[in-house]
Structure 1
Amino acid sequence: MIGLLCFVLAVLASPFKSKLRLEAENAALRHQVIVLRRKLRGRVRLTNHDRWFFVQLYRWFPSILTVITIVQLETLVRWHRAGFRCYWRRESRRRGGRPQIEADLRALIRQINMENLLWGAPRIHGELIKLGFSVAQSTVARYMVKRRGPPSQGWKTFLRNHAPDIAAMDLFVVPTIGFELLYGFVIVRIDRRDLVWINVTANPTAEWIARQITEAFPWDGAPGYMIRDRDRIYGAVVTRRLRAMGIRDKPIAPASPWQNGFAERLIGSIRRECLDHAIICGEAHLRRVLKSYADYYNRFRTHRSLKKDAPVSRSVQHTGVIRSRAILGGLHHHYGRI
């Protein structure tokens, strides 16, 4: 900058054009010396002031290219073109019009749009008005997520809307201390993951399963659909009982246990959290253990799929002394305030 000031003073003091060109070349040479004196090691480091100085001299006196040595000629021309673009970009920027909305409001528009795939710009605009935002509907349409094809709900939404009307049932085997086999039967509702029915038998038959379904659901509280596997134990008696109760039978595909994943997951929890830690003496013993676990499962055990709530919703306790109660002989504990 000192060199540029000296050059300006020389220009004002000199009345001849040839002297102006000479002073410009001298100013360029002096500034190069100043830049080289700042060099410590490696390549020469130029500041934005240095670049601006050389570009201005080049604009006024293109002949100084012959005396520039610390940078290449192409570099100086490139600086000049970059400055030209920045200048006209600044001059062409929008000075009026509608101001841009805040980033938080843009994120809220996209969130509402993604969470409600059936909503258009007018509906989202109405919600924003009720939330206290003053924004145009055209602005809402501009910041909505662009999607191809007609709007449609996802499988998660579809299953969640039908979950209260779906139940699943399955059988599992439990060995006893005498190496006999007992059969447990469970029915679970998909909506709250609640264990509707659990029972034990040594000789499962279609008639026994049909009776369990009748005892599990009252006539006015039966689900609309029942998921089951294709075990031959579910004979014509079971299908007729389901039809008589207004329940649609939905067997899974052959060799596809993941299609009955809720019942399979429940049976896995029963094994890992209860049966794997006990030796069953007989049918009465197994029935007592499973009834105790079913009560713990429905009333106290939290589930990640239920946002850490139990199938029978537990209230949040804030006051009182915390006490624990042993369940299944201390295998699990329930904690509450009294």
Structure 2
Amino acid sequence: MIALFRHLLGWIVSVFGSREDLILENLALRHQLLALHPRRPRRRLSARQKLFWLTLRKLWAGWRKPLLLVTPRTVVDWDRAGFRLYWKWLSGTRHRVGRKAVSQEIRALIFRMAAENPTWGAPRIHGELLKLGFDASEATVSRWLRQAPRTPDPAQRWLTFLRNHREAIAAMDFFTIPTLTFGVLYCFFIIGHDRRKILRFNVTRNPHALWIVQQLREAWPYTPAHRFLLFDRDAKFGGDVVTSAKEMGSEPVRTAFRSPWQNGVAERWVGSCRRDLLDHVIILNERHLKRLMSEYVRYYHEDRTHLGLAKDTPAGRPRAIRSAVESKIRSFPRLGGLHHRYALALAA
């Protein structure tokens, strides 16, 4: 370090001499030798060494010629970084003026309320913030509200509609089952959204519009039909089916193209039926499938618990009350032993 200051003092004394370029070049080379000597392997230059090159750049036009450790571009970047750091420090010492900054908590609440309530505007959100004890103006809420994502997911909008009308919605659909002889059977069903009950099911080899109309009539023989009847754009649900549904008092609602998630309750029941029964049996004929489906629908209504019904069954399975007396748990086979129902029985 002492040698470095000696060279620096020597350069200051002789900077105005006749050999100033030669002296500055020697100083720059000696400085780089001193920087390389104690560093094996090579490391980054220290702040003092960077400052030396920045000073040399300001005072000598030929500073690029003896530069070997780094490129001239690097020295320029050091100068720019120091300029930014200086003004950042200078700006931080001044007193902030203008409006009060909005906290992160308030911004998060504004975005959350806008996402959860698509129909709310700035006055409604501002009122909720006031009731929560936050001090923010309506103009501030409006300004931040413009930055919030206000395009909710279409699936979320459809899900909200289904939840608000589940008691009045029924859905119908088909699914296919191959047989032992490589034939194809069509299983038609109608399911209610409120308790996930199967209102009607039947099996056929040749589904057509008049057959579907008859199934609709048998689904609600003595009770009013559901307010909305949801189905997809299958060609089997033609004009006769739509007209019959309207005559029964239902409003037909078709799902969008290639959007099975819009009829999620029906699609989920098809998946449950396949996992619980059809994936484990080989269907012989139409009569065989009808018998199996009848047993499964009975098991589905009375025994099988559902996550969407808070672990209850569509028919309302009562919850057993364990007494102080020792009891025994009995199992009752369902669907030939594929599933079981468990109940308490008093010990003998």
TM-score bracket, normalised by the shorter chain, equals 0.5 to 0.7
Matched, 1:160 2:159: yes
CA distance 1:125–1:206, change in 2 (3 Å) = closer
Q: 1:100-249 counterparts in 2 under 5 A?
A: 100-103=101-104, 105-144=106-145, 146=147, 154-163=153-162, 164=166, 165-171=168-174, 184-189=187-192, 191=193, 194-200=196-202, 205=211, 208-215=214-221, 218-219=223-224, 222-227=226-231, 229-231=234-236, 239-240=243-244, 242-249=245-252
5+ residue gaps, structure 1, are 12-16
CA distance 1:252–1:153, change in 2 (3 Å) = closer
CA distance 1:199–1:142, change in 2 (3 Å) = closer
What is the TM-score with the length of structure 2 in the denominator? 0.62
What is the TM-score with the length of structure 1 in the denominator? 0.64
CA distance 1:70–1:207, change in 2 (3 Å) = closer
Give the fraction of aligned pairs with identical amino acids, expressed as a percent.
30
Contact 2:302 2:313 in 1 (8 A): no
Shift of 1:186: 1.8
Shift of 1:178: 11
CA distance 1:53–1:101, change in 2 (3 Å) = farther
Contact 2:172 2:231 in 1 (8 A): yes
Q: Please give the alpha-carbon distance, in whole angstroms, between the structure 2 residues aligned to 1:263 and 1:37.
A: 78
Contact 2:189 2:199 in 1 (8 A): yes
CA distance 1:103–1:309, change in 2 (3 Å) = farther
Q: Please give the alpha-carbon distance, in whole angstroms, between the structure 1 residues aligned to 2:191 and 2:2.
A: 85
CA distance 1:230–1:141, change in 2 (3 Å) = same
Shift of 1:95: 3.6
Of 282, 288, 298, the residue aligned with 1:292 is 298
**Aligned alpha-carbon RMSD (Å):** 5.4
Shift of 1:197: 1.3
Q: Please give the alpha-carbon distance, in whole angstroms, between the structure 1 residues aligned to 2:133 and 2:2.
A: 56
Contact 2:198 2:297 in 1 (8 A): no
Of 253, 275, 278, the residue aligned with 1:275 is 278
Q: Give the AA of the match of 1:52.
A: L
Q: 1:249-260 counterparts in 2 under 5 A?
A: 249-250=252-253, 258=260
Contact 1:187 1:197 in 2 (8 A): yes
CA distance 1:260–1:181, change in 2 (3 Å) = same
Q: Please give the alpha-carbon distance, in whole angstroms, between the structure 1 residues aligned to 2:183 and 2:72.
A: 95
Aligned counterpart, 2:20: none
After superposition, give the CA deviation of every residue in 1:289-313 in whole Å (9 maximum; x if it has no partner). Answer: 133233168x5033xxx49866759
Q: Secondary structure at the match of 1:231?
A: coil
5+ residue gaps, structure 2, are 18-22
Q: How many residues align?
A: 317
Q: Please give the alpha-carbon distance, in whole angstroms, between the structure 2 residues aligned to 1:310 and 1:29.
A: 85
